Chain A
Amino acid sequence: MSRILIVDDEISILKALQRLLRVAPCVYGNKQFSLEVVACEFPSEALKHARQGEFDLFISDYRMPEMDGIEFLKQARALQPDAARLILSGYADLNALVRAVNEVGIERFIGKPWNDYELMSAIAQALAHRELLLENRQLADLVRVEMGDKTAEQIEAERLERLEPGITRVNWGPDGSVVLDDDN
C-alpha cells in the first residue's frame, strides 16, 4: 500500500484526484500499486500529516495561500527525504519550475488540466523509482554489513535518522543542557 499526500487549496481538485486515484489502476511495468490517499486543503495541515505518518509520495499544487508548493515540498522533504515529490499546477512559470527542480528535486511537474492517464503513470513511475532506490539501498547496506563496511547499528541509526531526521544527534546547549526541538 503506497501512501500519497495531496495538497491543493481547491477542494474540487482534491476530490477529483481522490476519485481518480480510487478507481484508476496504478501500474508500472508489471507492478501494481495500491494507493492510500490523504488530501489536504492547506499546506500546514499536510505538514502535520507528514510528521505523523510516512508517505511514499507528496503531490502539491504550486500556488496556494500560506505557502507555495515549493516551500511546502521543501519542508516535506526535510521530514521525509525518501518520499517522492510531484507538482501538479496550472501555473507554468519557468521560475517556479526551475526552483522546483533545483531546490526540491521533484520527480515530475504535471500541468493542469492534467491527463488522467499521464498522471497515473507519473505516480506509478515515481513510486516504482522510489521503491527501487530503497531496495538498492537496502541491498547495498546488506552487502556493506556482510563486507564489514557498516555495522548493523550504523544502518539502524541511518534508518532511524531517515524516519526521524536529527534523532541520532544530540543538540547540546552552551551550558551542557540538551536542547529539544519544540517547533513541531
Chain B
Amino acid sequence: MDAFVWDQRYMTGEAQVDGEHQELVRIINALIDLQSKYASPETVTQVLDQLVNYAVVHFAHEETLMAESHCDPRFIERHTAVHRSFAEQVVRLRDSSADGSDLEYLLNFLTGWLAQHILGMDKAMVRQIELIRGGNSPQAAYDAAAKITTDPATSSMLDAMASLYRIISARNDALSELNRGLEAKVAERTEALKESNRRLLESEHRRSTETRRNLELFLSQIIDGDPVPTLVIDASHRITHWNKACANISGLPAERMVGTWDQWMAFYPAARPIMADLIVDGSLEERFNTYYHNLFRRSKTIEDAFEAESFFPNLGENGRWLFFTAAPIRDGEGRIIGAIETLQDVTDRHLAEDELLKYQEQLEAQVEARTRELASTNRQLEREHAELTTLLGKIDETQQQLLQSEKMAAIGQLAAGVAHEINNPVGFVNSNLGSLKSYTGNLLRLIDAYESGEPQAIAAARQAADLEFLREDLPSLLAESQEGLDRVTRIVQDLKDFSRVDQAEHQRADLNAAMNSTLNVVRNELKYKADVIVELGDIPEIDCVPAQLNQVFMNLLVNAAQAIPERGKIFVRSGVERDHVWFEIEDTGCGMSAETRQRIFEPFFTTKPVGKGTGLGLSISYDIIVKRHHGRLDVHSETGKGTTFRIWLPIVQSAET
C-alpha cells in the first residue's frame, strides 16, 4: 500500500492541530510499513494502540480548542460525535483485525477517514475559530462555515469519501453485529454443550456408580442366595462375603463375620488357616499337607481350585461332614486378590453311606441267611423229590400191580367160571369112575361066579351086580364120562386159545375167531345170566394184537352179563364198514345213567360193590382200542333197557404202530 502523503491541502492553519495531524499520518505510515513487512501481530497491535491513544489525545485537544474558542455548540456536538464514532470504529477494527488479516482494510479506512476529516470537519473548525476570533458570533461563524463550499473536486471527493466511509461503517457495523450475534451464539452453544457435557458426565458417573453398586449387590445376592455355604476372603484374608447358608451351617451370622479374619472360628476350636487362606497365600501344597493330611486334591472342574472332605466335630450337634472347595479369585492381570470357598454339607451322604453300608451288611446277612434257608429248602426239596420219586415209583408199581390185579381179577373171574366148568365134568367123570369101579368089581365077581360054575353063586352075583341095570347104565356112564373129558379138553383148549402167548404180538388175525374163543371161555360165565346170540359177519383179518382184544371182548362180555339182573340176552355181532371192522356187544341189562356213562372210561371208576371190580376193565379196554389200535369205542346205553358197546378197528394200522 502506498504511504499517506502529507501535502499543503491538509494544513488548517492551526499549528497544534496540524502538528498532531502530521503525527497521526506518521503513525499510519508506520503501520503501512509494518503491514508490508509482514510484522508480527503483536507489533501491529502495539502500533495500533499507539495510534488509538494518540487519536484520543488529539481529539481531546480539538474539543478543548473548540470549547476555548466558543464554537457553536451544534458544531462541537457534531464534531465530538464524529470523534466518538471514529474511536469506536478503530477500536472495533483493531480488535477484529488483531490477527492482521484485515489490516489492509483498516489502513484504508484510517487513511480515508483522516483525509476526509482533516479536509472537512477540522478545516471547518479552524475557519469558525478564526471567525470568532475575528469577532463574529459563534452562530454566525457556524453558519458562515456551513455556507462555505469547498472546490468541487475536493467536495465530490469528500462526498464520495463520506459515503464510502458510511458504507464501510455500516458494513462494519453489520459485520460487527453479525460477529457479535455469532459470538453470542457460539458462546450460547458452547455453554449448552458444556452443560450437556457436564450432565452427560454426571449421568455417566452416576450410572457407572449404580452399575457397580448393582453388580456388587448382584454378586452379593448370588453368593448370599446360593444354597451352598460360601465365603469369600480378600487378599488380606479378610472376609468379604459370608452367605446365609454359610451362616446357617456355622451358626455365625454374616454381620459377625464379614470384615473380620475369624473364618477359622466356624470350623476349628483354635485359630488356623482354612483352605481359602492357603489359596490366597499361594502356599498351596506344602501347607495343605500340614493342614489337610493328603486329604485334599485338585478340583477336576475348576482350575487352581482344591477340594477336600473332612469331618468337623464342632459343627452342629453331632459334627458334620463337609466337602469344601477353595478357588482363587484373580484380577485382570492374574494376581490373586482373594479366594472363594464353598462348603457342602455331605453329612447326609455320609450317614446314608453308613446306612447303606449297614444296610448292605444287613442285606448280606439276609442273603446269607436266605441262602442257608434256600440251601436247606433245597436239600429238603431234594429229599422231598427223592421221596416223591420213590412215591412215584411206588405209584407206578402200584399201577402196574393194579393193572396186574385187574388182569388177575379178570382171570380170577374167569378161573371161577372155568373152575366151575372144569370141576363139573371132572366131578362127574371122577364119580363115574368110582361107580365104574364098583360096576367092574361086580362084573368081575359075576365072571368069577360063572367061572366057578356054581348056579347059586352065579345067581347071587347076578343079583348083586344088577346086570340089567349095568347093561343099561354102563354105556351112558362111559358116554357121559367121555363127553365130560371132551368138555375139559375143550375148555383147556379155549383157555389156551384165549391166552395164547403167540397172540401177544402185532399180527394179522381173524377177530371172529378171537371172539369165538373168548366166548367159549366166558360162556360158562354168561350162561347163568343170559342167552348169548352170536351174529358174526364176514370180516377180513386185521392188524392187531389178538390177546389184547380178547381181553377187551372178555371185559365187555362179562360186564354185559353182570349188567343183567336176572336173565337177559347178549347179542354179539360183527361186520365191516369201509376200512374198519366193528364188533358190537349188546345186552338187555340195566343200562347206565348219563353220569355213569360219562365216567365209565375213568380208571378206578366202578359201580360194582367193593371187592367185586377194580374199576380198570373199561379204562384198559379204552386204552387198548383207542391208543394201541387207533380205533374207537362207542357206547349207547339206556337206563333199564340195556347197553351197547361198539368197537371200531382199522383194518390196516398206520405205519407208525
Contacts and interface: CB of A to CB of B under 8 A. Distances in A.
B434 A20 contact: yes
A115 B432 CA distance: 11
A65 B438 contact: no
Contact of A16 (B419, B432, B527): B432
Contacts of A23: 435, 438-439
Contact of B423 (A16, A19, A111, A116): A111
A112 B424 contact: yes
Contact of A15 (B419, B434, B480): B480
B476 interface: yes
Nearest to B609: A95
A113 B528 contact: no
A12 B425 contact: yes
A74 interface: no
Given A12-B480, A65-B567, A19 B528 contact: no
B196 interface: no
A16 B416 contact: no
Contacts of B427: 13, 16, 90, 112-114
B434 A13 contact: no
Interface residues of A, number: 25
B431 A116 contact: yes
Nearest to A15: B480
Contacts of A63: 420, 528
> B429, B430, B431, B484 — which one has the most chain A CB atoms within 10 A of its CB?
B431
A113 B438 contact: no
Contacts of B483: 12
Interface string A153-175: 00000000000000000000000
A19 B420 contact: no
A108 to B, nearest CB: 15
Given A10-B424, A23-B435, A23-B438, A16 B528 contact: no
Contacts of A112: 420, 423-424, 426-427
Contacts, number: 79
Interface string A88-124: 0111110000000000000000011110100000000
Interface string A137-155: 0000000000000000000
Contacts of A66: 567
B428 A16 contact: yes
B608 to A, nearest CB: 13
Contacts of A65: 527-528, 567
Given A16-B435, A17-B431, A91-B416, A113 B426 contact: yes
Interface centre among A16, A92, A93, by most chain B C-beta atoms within 10 angstroms, is A16
Contacts of A19: 431-432, 435, 473, 477
Interface residues of B, number: 29
A38 interface: no
A64 interface: yes
Nearest to A61: B424
Nearest to A9: B528
B480 A113 contact: no
A10 B438 CA distance: 23
B interface secondary structure, majority: helix
Contacts of A116: 430-431, 434
Contacts of B484: 12
Nearest to A11: B480
A60 B232 CA distance: 130
Contact of B480 (A16, A89, A90): A16
Interface in A1-49: 10, 12-13, 15-17, 19-20, 22-24
A15 B477 CA distance: 8
B428 A13 contact: yes
Given A63-B420, A90-B420, A20 B435 contact: yes
Contacts of B469: 22
Contacts of A90: 419-424, 427
A89 B423 CA distance: 8
A142 B421 CA distance: 50
Contacts of B425: 12
A181 to B, nearest CB: 23
B383 to A, nearest CB: 43
A66 B527 CA distance: 11
Interface in B491-530: 527-528
Contacts of B421: 90
A88 to B, nearest CB: 8
A92 B439 CA distance: 31
Tell me which of B424, B430, B477, B527 has the highest count of chain A C-beta atoms within 10 A of its own C-beta.
B424
Interface in B427-457: 427-432, 434-435, 438-439
A91 B435 contact: no
Given A15-B428, A116-B431, A91 B527 contact: no
Most-contacted residue by chain B among A92, A93, A112 (CB, 10 A): A112
Given A23-B435, A93-B416, A116-B434, A13 B527 contact: no
B431 A20 contact: yes
Contacts of A91: 416, 419-420, 423
A45 B547 CA distance: 42
A91 B415 CA distance: 10
Contacts of A111: 423
A23 B435 CA distance: 7
A23 B438 CA distance: 8
19 contacts: A10-B428, A12-B425, A12-B483, A12-B484, A15-B428, A16-B428, A16-B431, A19-B431, A19-B432, A63-B420, A64-B528, A65-B567, A91-B416, A91-B419, A91-B420, A112-B423, A113-B430, A116-B431, A116-B434
Given A17-B428, A24-B434, A63-B528, 7 more contacts: A15-B476, A15-B477, A23-B435, A66-B567, A90-B419, A112-B424, A112-B427
- 5 closest residue pairs by CB, A with B: A90-B423, A113-B427, A16-B428, A112-B427, A112-B423
